[in-house]
């Protein structure tokens, strides 16, 4: 059985490139170009993993996609994709452009715990992408089994 991934990004070039790479390596990939499209796909299909760009139509869109994924009964692994990684200070919960990254997010939520299993930094090389996706899927499966 192929592992199914929902890939969400409003940048068509990124979306199609990552889709092609993942499909070439045995994943079944569906795409969504907006958070609204992602919400609809998550309601009508089951995925092993949801990867969403952090900033799309709003600065919160990617986090909303991940939050929605985490509420699905099928409990997919999740990852945020961004070209603007947080600095070391951001990981400790300090402000960056009016937002919080680590520690707590604006709404008091920890994106690394409750909301997203991983952060993928663009640009991603093929090897890095595949290693990170595989590792995340394994960690998530272990967590589901209570290991």
Note the pLDDT tens digit of each residue in 9-66: 999 999 999 999 999 999 999 999 999 999 999 999 999 999 999 989 998 899 999 9
Containing domain of residue 130, as a range? 4-144
CA atoms within 13 A on the CB side of 21: 16
Residue 137 and residue 142: Cα distance in Å, rounded? 9
The answer to whether the pTM exceeds 0.95 is no
What is Dmax (Cα atoms) for the chain?
43
Domains identified in the chain, total number: 1
| pLDDT > 50? residue 110 | no
Report the CATH number at residue 95: 3.40.50.2300
Q: Is 77 helix (H, G, I), strand (E, B) or coil?
A: strand
pLDDT of the residue at 86 = 63
Alpha-carbon distance of 102 to 111, in angstroms, equals 7
Place of tokens 């592992």: 3
């Amino acid at each position: 059985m192929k592992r199914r991934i929902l890939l969400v990004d409003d940048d068509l070039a990124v979306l199609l490139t990552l889709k092609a790479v993942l499909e070439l390596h045995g994943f079944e990939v569906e795409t969504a170009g907006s958070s609204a499209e992602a919400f609809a796909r998550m309601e009508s299909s089951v995925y092993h993993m949801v990867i969403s760009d952090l900033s799309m139509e709003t600065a919160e869109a990617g986090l909303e996609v991940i939050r929605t994924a985490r509420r699905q009964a099928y409990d997919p692994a999740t990852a945020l994709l961004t070209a603007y990684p947080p600095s070391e200070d951001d990981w400790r919960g300090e402000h960056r452009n009016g937002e919080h990254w680590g520690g707590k997010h604006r709404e008091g939520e920890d994106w690394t715990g409750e909301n997203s299993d991983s952060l993928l930094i663009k640009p991603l090389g093929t090897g890095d992408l595949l290693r990170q996706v595989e590792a995340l899927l394994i960690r998530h499966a272990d967590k589901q089994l209570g290991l």
